[in-house]
């Protein structure tokens, strides 16, 4: 798919900042969750006969989950994203406008406290909510697919992941070790889990 003009992303960030000044951090969180859900729900549903067919669609960019980002499977259920789909916009914002407004981190902290501790900045609320809602639109062998984030590494190197007691079961389900996760986070933006329970 063609790349977006990063100016549109810069404008969107500023739109969100303006929105936050009107509705506050909780209100912005609600908007971000809502727009991500609306986006996923506006996209066509998917069905696959078998897990390997779904994995193939994921890696070739044919699935709703790989529409906006490159997905590389690490195991059958553990996926990695080499580059954040928001990286270009962030770099352009930093270059042309300056440091990100604090509200992007504040809303991420709000989300981490209220939903799950996985967002470094505002765009991760969109990303994780979108993936969760998108996964719910996929059926493999007649079963729904479930998404769970394992770790997020932002462009500036900040990493967010669940606390140890919640991380270990996730890693076990994903089929990777803690060391492998550390290796992936050196040069990947996200590590996540998809499964058909």
Partner 1 sequence: MLDVALVSLIEDMIEKAGADGVVEFWQRVGDALASRVGKEAYLGWTSFNVAVREGRTAFSIEGDVTPLTDMAITDVDGDVVGYLYAMKQCCYVPTVFRTRYSVGHMSAADQAVAQEYNETVHNIAVCNFCVFHERFREEIAKNVSVSGNPLVSYLLATRGWSGETKISSKNVAMVNINEEHMRALLRNYECVYALVMRGARLKGGR
Binding interface with partner 1 (CB under 8 A): 1-5, 7-15, 17-19, 31, 34-36, 38-39, 42-44, 67-69, 85-86, 89, 92, 96-98, 123, 126-127, 130
Please count the other Cβ atoms lying within 10 Å of the Cβ belonging to residue 112: 16
Closest to partner 1 by CB, 14 vs 172, is 14
Under DSSP, the state recorded for 146 is E
User: Closest approach of Cβ 145 to partner 1, in Å?
Assistant: 18
Q: How far apart are CA 139 and CA 141, in angstroms?
A: 6
Specify the residue, 58 or 171, whose C-beta has the smaller distance to partner 1. Answer: 58
Element (H, E) at 176: none
Shortest CB 32 distance to partner 1, Å: 9
Q: Of 58 and 126, which has the nearer Cβ to partner 1?
A: 126
- Looking at the chain, the number of H-run helices and the number of E-run strands are 7, 8
* Minimum separation from the CB atom of position 148 to partner 1 (A): 19
- Shortest distance in whole angstroms from residue 61 CB to partner 1: 10
User: Which lies closer to partner 1 via its Cβ, residue 60 or residue 75?
Assistant: 60
Q: Got the DSSP string for 35-89?
A: HHHHHHHTSPPEEESSHHHHHHHHHTT-SGGGSSS--EESSSSEEEESS-TTHHH
Q: How far, in Å, CA of 141 to CA of 13, rounded?
A: 39
Residue whose structure tokens are 């060391």: 179
To partner 1, the closest distance from the beta carbon of 154 in angstroms equals 14
Residue number with CB closer to partner 1 (86 or 111): 86
């Amino acid at each position: 798919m063609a790349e977006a003009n990063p100016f549109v992303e810069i404008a969107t960030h500023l739109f969100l900042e303006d929105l936050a000044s009107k509705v506050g951090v909780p209100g912005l969180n609600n908007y971000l969750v809502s727009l991500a859900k609306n986006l996923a729900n506006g996209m066509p549903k998917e069905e696959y006969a078998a897990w390997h067919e779904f994995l193939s669609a994921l890696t070739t960019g044919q699935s709703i989950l790989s529409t906006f980002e490159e997905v590389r499977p690490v195991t059958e259920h553990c996926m990695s994203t080499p580059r954040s789909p928001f990286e270009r916009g962030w770099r352009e914002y930093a270059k042309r406008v300056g440091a990100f407004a604090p509200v992007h981190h504040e809303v991420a902290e709000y989300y981490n406290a209220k939903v799950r501790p996985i967002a470094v900045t505002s765009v991760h609320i969109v990303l994780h909510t979108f993936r969760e809602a998108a996964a719910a639109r996929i059926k493999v062998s007649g079963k729904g697919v479930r998404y769970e984030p394992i770790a997020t590494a932002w462009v500036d190197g900040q990493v967010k992941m669940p606390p140890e007691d919640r991380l270990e079961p996730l890693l076990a389900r994903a089929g990777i070790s803690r060391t492998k996760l550390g290796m992936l986070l050196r040069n990947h933006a996200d590590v996540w889990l998809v499964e058909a329970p």
